[in-house]
Structure 1
């Protein structure tokens, strides 16, 4: 198992299978690459089936325990089921998707070996959903979530990026997971230094405060210092987790993953440069690339922490330049 200079073991890998997407979400940072979406047809720079599997084989040999396939929209890859089926048996396999293709493929993906799925959903109102995603596929996404649950992908995690364009829909999303058995909600803090538009950021503490008032009980995941809020519904209990990496040192201190972009480049962090295009490398060369990238990992993404006389300190100048926090409503049509 590879261990970086800060004692973090490499146990997970995120693999972007494409940067193509049938949605055009206004907040998308495309796995840290920026807005590179283009034609929906397969692109030459995408890793082939065999190239993806070669990277996974090396990762498994290095004791990486889990892989999450992402995009773009990974279900635009017609070979997704084959990749899932042929992934190393030692690796847990999960997927992040916009859900619009799940109605037709959830069952086949489970048969291929898919174990978990995250579905991006930022509103329960079709018009608001269309405004955020630039897509009219709201009904397909809802149908896809149902298909995933029916196929046995329980729980299904709904990913909601929290920024000024979505904050007002948080209460409705919380109600949905509280009333629907098998759903969980991840509220993901917007990272303006990656996605741009710093004026869209809101104070994530306001979200925590609202959830604390609404929740029946609260737990904290020590690993990432994440809060989990449990909200009772008529027939069960929904779980809402806040993913808040900005200024959260514990989050990055416990990061155990690296990323592979759609074109085969390896990244030690979401907000670090791409290195080592691996598509045409041999397995020994891929192994060497992993070792080098893990050895060069930094303790916190971006430039939030800088090295000063051998010690890592918070870069207050960078934080001040990058984060502009605005107010945005978090209100409910109270019961």
Structure 2
């Protein structure tokens, strides 16, 4: 297993299969790349089935034991089932999707080897959901969640980005997962530095505080030192798990990051927040992938606390040390 200079082992990879999407969410940062969405038809610059599988085989050689397929909307790839089926057996396979294509495909994905799924659901009202996603697919998403549960995926996590447009739905969403067995809730901190709308930001610590008051149990997850809150439904029937993903200005989160990302065009990416560390994998031969993988792991830097440091005024600024290193690379 490869370890970076800060002692962080790389145990997982996130592979973007496409930047195409049938939604146009107002908060989307497309795995940190920005809004690169193009035509909905398959694009020549997307990694091929064989390219994805070859990369995963190399990652497995280095002890990587989990892969999450993302996008864009990864289910726009008609070869998704084949990719999952050909993923090395040692890897746990998960998927982040908007859920609209799960009906009719969820069982085939499970048969291929999919183990877990995250479904983006930012509101429990069709009109507000449409305002956030620029999509009228609210009912289809609910149908997709049911399809995932019926196919035996466990857990089915609902991803909800918490910002000005959605924060009011947190209590309702917590109740929703508490009363529906098999569902969990992942509240994702809004990232204004990637989306360019700082006025939409809210204080995520207020959400932590509210959940702590409601919780009957709080536990810590090793990855990113995250908190998990177990909360009972308002009527006492059922209990749900809620987890917050809060990377913004969080050195602890970055110090516990064990992932490397792959863009849909086949570039390795050491950090979500950065695009100055993209590493091409050449013609996607195994020797080239091995060399690029080693290089990107060796250059990984915790974003907050190292790449970004606080100045005397307590403000975050880029640490020139790493800019100079990459300029000379």
TM-score by length of 2: 0.92
Q: Partners of 1:170 and 1:279 in 2: how far apart? A: 44
The answer to whether the 8 Å contact 1:231/1:237 transfers is yes
Match of 1:272 in 2: 274
Q: What residue ranges of structure 2 are gaps of 5+ in the alignment?
A: 319-329
Q: Partners of 1:117 and 1:211 in 2: how far apart? A: 23
Match of 2:300 in 1: 297
The answer to whether the 8 Å contact 2:311/2:317 transfers is no
The answer to whether the 8 Å contact 1:305/1:315 transfers is no
Match of 1:130 in 2: 130
Matching residue within 280, 286, 289 for 2:289: 286
SS in structure 1 opposite 2:83?
Answer: helix
Match of 1:236 in 2: 238
Q: Partners of 1:220 and 1:111 in 2: how far apart? A: 32
Q: Partners of 1:229 and 1:99 in 2: how far apart? A: 25
The answer to whether the 8 Å contact 2:20/2:71 transfers is yes
Change (3 A) 1:295 1:318: farther
Match of 1:93 in 2: 93
Q: Partners of 2:119 and 2:296 in 1: how far apart? A: 29
The answer to whether the 8 Å contact 2:55/2:284 transfers is no
Q: Partners of 1:276 and 1:181 in 2: how far apart? A: 42
**How many positions carry a matched residue from both structures?**
315
Q: Partners of 2:312 and 2:269 in 1: how far apart? A: 25
Q: How does 1:187-266 map to 2 (within 5 A)?
A: 187-233=187-233, 234-266=236-268
Q: How does 1:109-124 map to 2 (within 5 A)?
A: 109-124=109-124
How far 1:250 sits from its partner (Å)? 1.6
Q: Partners of 1:227 and 1:64 in 2: how far apart? A: 24
How far 1:155 sits from its partner (Å)? 1.2
Q: Partners of 2:200 and 2:317 in 1: how far apart? A: 15
Change (3 A) 1:132 1:3: same
SS in structure 2 opposite 1:5?
Answer: coil
How far 1:279 sits from its partner (Å)? 6.0
Match of 2:184 in 1: 184
Q: Partners of 1:124 and 1:79 in 2: how far apart? A: 31
Change (3 A) 1:318 1:133: farther
Q: Partners of 1:263 and 1:226 in 2: how far apart? A: 31
Match of 1:152 in 2: 152
TM-score by length of 1: 0.90
Bigger shift: residues 232-241 or 144-153: 232-241
The answer to whether the 8 Å contact 2:120/2:159 transfers is yes
How far 1:216 sits from its partner (Å)? 2.2
The answer to whether the 8 Å contact 1:219/1:227 transfers is yes
How far 1:305 sits from its partner (Å)? 3.2
How far 1:178 sits from its partner (Å)? 0.9
Change (3 A) 1:285 1:8: same
Q: Partners of 2:317 and 2:199 in 1: how far apart? A: 12
Change (3 A) 1:318 1:172: same
Bigger shift: residues 192-201 or 273-282: 273-282
Match of 1:333 in 2: none
SS in structure 2 opposite 1:104?
Answer: coil
The answer to whether the 8 Å contact 2:179/2:238 transfers is yes
| CA RMSD, 1 decimal | 1.8
